[in-house]
Chains A and B, each alone.
Chain A
Amino acid sequence: ETGVTQTPRHLVMGMTNKKSLKCEQHLGHNAMYWYKQSAKKPLELMFVYNFKEQTENNSVPSRFSPECPNSSHLFLHLHTLQPEDSALYLCASSDGTSGDNEQFFGPGTRLTVL
């Protein structure tokens, strides 16, 4: 399998649930990203990991918890979410070693919080 994959593709959860989103990249990249895309809003960068170290946390609420066990895998753990957290969550990866960071995106997870 090539590129960036995300699972699940769709997720419906209640506000008291705990769930995790998974992202895997097969491109040999060193940097991975989580973005949130809500309707009629710019794509919001949430977290950046470079060589497994978190280099960016864009003031994201603690109910979102990222985990990067290795350069190929990235998780987003979710707990006690709010309805306004419903959005498309996109994972991306990039080379991480050059200044031209072309990002490769996964298909996204459509999250609905009831």
Chain B
Amino acid sequence: SQQGEEDPQALSIQEGENATMNCSYKTSINNLQWYRQNSGRGLVHLILIRSNEREKHSGRLRVTLDTSKKSSSLLITASRAADTASYFCATDASGTYKYIFGTGTRLKVLA
């Protein structure tokens, strides 16, 4: 079964608004990462949160992790048109070098 699942699958907002994406996973993890992908390009690492952390910030990004619910959320504040991309969460199920990615959330920020 899929380790990471993001929701919503697609999100459309106006520039300046906040965007929230959620990720759920099924097994215990060591850490969870969020990546961004612009159309047809490689993924770019955004932020990593360890299993013993509950919240982390990086610029306009805020990530939370609830290991009891096996879920994480990514909040992008004051969104910009340049934030338009697909966002993926990735989890490592067993502390190996194997990360499982979800299907992603497609975010569109309208100028």
B33's closest neighbor in chain A, by CB?
Answer: A102
Prevailing SS type, chain A contact patch: strand
A101 interface neighbour in B97, B102, B104, Cβ under 8 Å: B97
Alpha-carbon gap, A53 to B17, bound state (A)? 46
B97 interface neighbour in A35, A55, A104, A108, Cβ under 8 Å: A55
A43 within 8 A of B: yes
| Inter-chain contacts of B41 with A (CB < 8 A) | 107-108
Q: State whether B2 touches A42 (Cβ < 8 A).
A: yes
Q: State whether A101 touches B99 (Cβ < 8 A).
A: yes
Quote the shortest CB–CB distance from A36 to chain B (angstroms). Answer: 11
Q: State whether A100 touches B50 (Cβ < 8 A).
A: yes
Interface residues on chain A, number (Cβ under 8 Å): 30
Using C-beta atoms within 8 Å of the partner chain, give the interface range for chain B: 20 to 34
Contact with A along B60-92 (1 / 0, CB 8 A): 000000000000000000000000000010101
| Inter-chain contacts of A48 with B (CB < 8 A) | 97-98
Alpha-carbon gap, A100 to B90, bound state (A)? 12
Q: State whether A90 touches B42 (Cβ < 8 A).
A: yes
Quote the shortest CB–CB distance from B8 to chain A (angstroms). Answer: 15
Alpha-carbon gap, A103 to B36, bound state (A)? 12
Contact with B along A1-44 (1 / 0, CB 8 A): 00010100000000000000000000000010101000011110
Q: State whether A105 touches B99 (Cβ < 8 A).
A: no
Interface residues of chain A, those whose CB is within 8 Å of chain B, are 4, 6, 31, 33, 35, 40-43, 45, 48, 50, 55-56, 88, 90, 92, 94, 96, 99-108, 110
Interface residues of chain B, those whose CB is within 8 Å of chain A, are 2, 4, 30-31, 33, 35, 40-45, 48, 50, 88, 90, 92, 95-104
